[in-house]
Amino acid sequence: MGEIQQNYRKRKTIYLGLIAALFAILIAFRFIAPEGEHKVTSLEAMMIVSLIGIVVAIYAVFRCPKCKTALVPAYSASWGKLNHCPKCGVNLSGK
């Protein structure tokens, strides 16, 4: 396995971890938020900020190791079976 593939695997692991954190916060949000109209609590504000931070981190981290193209749309479209970078065509999976 080459350097590109190892780098891609590392980025993918971080990406999947961030996605898991995103869903965990969204689920927690549903339990914490009171019913109906209310003022945004500091805890909710903190969660919204971390959600935005995670989304930004996802796009910052999950990029092609070679050409730095964001791989999030291509990865989602391929159902997690992305083998080549959509822009520069570098082999990402080593297959």
Point out which residues bind Zn ion (CB under 5 A). 64, 66-67, 69, 85, 87-88
> How near is the Cβ of 51 to Zn ion at its closest, in Å?
28
> How near is the Cβ of 63 to Zn ion at its closest, in Å?
8
With respect to Zn ion, which residue has the nearer C-beta, 69 or 91? 69
> How near is the Cβ of 2 to Zn ion at its closest, in Å?
14
Does residue 68 contact residue 60 with C-beta atoms inside 8 Å? no
List strand residue ranges (DSSP E) for the chain, in order. none
> What whole-number distance in Å separates Cα of residue 42 and Cα of residue 55?
20
